[in-house]
Chain A
Amino acid sequence: MVDAAHDQVDFVPPAEVEEMELYHPKSFLTKYVFSQDAKVIAIQYSFTAIAIGLVALVLSWMMRLQLGFPETFSFIEAEDYYQFITMHGMIMVIYLLTALFLGGFGNYLIPLMVGARDMVFPYVNMLSYWIYLAAVLILLASFFVPGGPTGAGWTLYPPQAILPGTPGAEGGIILMLVSLAFFIVGFTMGGLNYVVTVLQARTRGMTLMRMPLTIWGIFMATVLALLAFPALFVGAVMMTLDSLLGTSFFMPAIVHMGEQLSYGGGSPVLFQHLFWFFGHPEVYIVALPAFGIVSDLISVHARRHIFGYRLMVWAIVIIGGLSFIVWAHHMYVSGMNPWFGFFFATTTLIIAIPTAIKVYNWVLTLWRGNIQLTIPMLFALAFIVTFVNGGITGLFLGNVVVDVPLSDTMFVVAHFHMVMGVAPIMVVFGAIYHWYPKMTGRMMNVAMGQIHFWITFLGAYAIFLPLHYLGFLGVPRRYYEMTDTTFIPASAQDLNAFVTVIALVVGAAQLLFLFNIGWSLVNGKKSGPNPWRATTLEWQTAQTPPGHGNFGKELPVVHRWAYAFGLPDATEDYVPQNLPPDQLNSDYDNSKLSPDTPQAAE
Chain B
Amino acid sequence: MPSSARTATLRDAVGLGVAVGLYGVAFGAAAAGAGLDTWQAVATSALMFTGASQFAMIGVLGAGGGAFSAVGSALLLGTRNTVYGVRLAPMLAPQGWLRRAGAAHWVIDETTAMAVAAPDRELGRLAFWVTGATIYLGWNVTTLVGSLGAAALGETAQAALDAVVPAAFLALLWPRLQRSAREPGVQRRVALGGAVVALALTPFVPAGVQVVLAVVAVALAGRPRTTTSPREAAA
On whether the two chains bind one another, the answer is no
A interface residue numbers (CB < 8 A to B): none
